[in-house]
Amino acid sequence: MEFPKSYLRLSENALREKLAKKKLPVGYAESIISHVLAAKRKEFSTSARNTQHARLWGDIIAPAKAERRIVQRMLTLNVASNSPERALALEAYLMVLDTIIGRLTLKANASGQTPRELAEGTNVPNKGEHWVDWMPLKKIALIHEYFARIPYTKGIRHKRPFERRIPQTQHAIHKRRLIERTEKEISTAERRLAAALADAKLTDTHVFRHQEINDMRVQISRMQAALHTIRLLRPTDLVPPTWHGIDLPD
């Protein structure tokens, strides 16, 4: 059903009042309202999906851009340990970074899939969680060869390419999001457990139901242990997408 796009900006009550002033056939106003509400839900769902899509790809591309800024800055510094081999290694690494940033940006814009979805069924390791995962192994090996040729200088720490790290500010955002998601999941599980225990029909003879309740308790305990570990994650630690990525004792 077609309707003015301005209807999408109205609340349900405002739309009802507007349509009530029109002389519409019986039931026609309700049909319009139903279609408008459905369109709103679809619009909201699409917007939320696009926001998540941009965030997930941005979380991968941002560390690559941060690494590029570091390498660019190293090239402009006039250091005592500078050498033709160092300059060549950094320039080669910078070119590779530009390539992978462009490739990931293209994937983000051209694909409706998340990085994890796109990585499934391919040779991309670690479900594509970090930009390094999307690098061809031959390119990584080549850049390591360039850096291996840099002359050793006592007291100088050489740059290590392709380190799996993210900017500290982004790490804090990932950690906060994971804590919030895990806390919400724990809260939901605790409500389900409380409802199961409060069931008046539950008796000692319901063996399978008691097993389900016990499994709920174990799951909540594991989530709480994971949450404790997440809160202790350092800025250099990798933040997994969900609490399931936290190593817990069996």
Report pLDDT digits (tens) over 55-91: 889 989 999 999 999 999 999 887 766 889 999 999 9
What mean pLDDT comes out for the span 203-217? 85
What's residue 134's pLDDT? 96
pLDDT grade for 178, boundaries at 50, 70 and 90: very high
201-238 in b/e burial notation, b at 16+ Cβ within 10 A?
eeeeeeeeeeeebeebeeebeebbebbeebeebeeeee
* Higher-pLDDT residue of 158, 135: 135
Question: Is the confidence at residue 180, as pLDDT, over 80?
Answer: yes
Task: State the CB neighbour count (10 A cutoff) for residue 193.
Answer: 17
pLDDT grade for 136, boundaries at 50, 70 and 90: very high
CA distances to 46, 67, 160 from 88, rounded to whole Å, are 46, 17, 14
What's residue 95's pLDDT? 97
Instruction: Give the residue among 182, 175, 163 at the shortest CA–CA distance from 232.
Output: 175
Question: Is the confidence at residue 173, as pLDDT, over 80?
Answer: yes
Q: What is the 3-state secondary structure (H, E, C) of 152-165?
A: CCCCCCCCCCCCCC
Q: What is the mean pLDDT of the chain?
A: 88
What's residue 226's pLDDT? 95
Question: Is the confidence at residue 204, as pLDDT, over 80?
Answer: no
- Flag whether the pTM goes above 0.85: no
Measured CA to CA, the distance from residue 149 to residue 141 in angstroms comes to 13
Question: Is the confidence at residue 227, as pLDDT, over 90?
Answer: yes
Q: What end-to-end distance do the CA atoms of the chain give, in Å?
A: 56
pLDDT tens for each residue of 86-112: 999 999 999 999 999 999 999 999 888
What's residue 70's pLDDT? 93
* Higher-pLDDT residue of 49, 160: 160
What's residue 129's pLDDT? 86
What's residue 222's pLDDT? 94
**With pLDDT > 70 as the criterion, what percentage of the chain qualifies?**
99
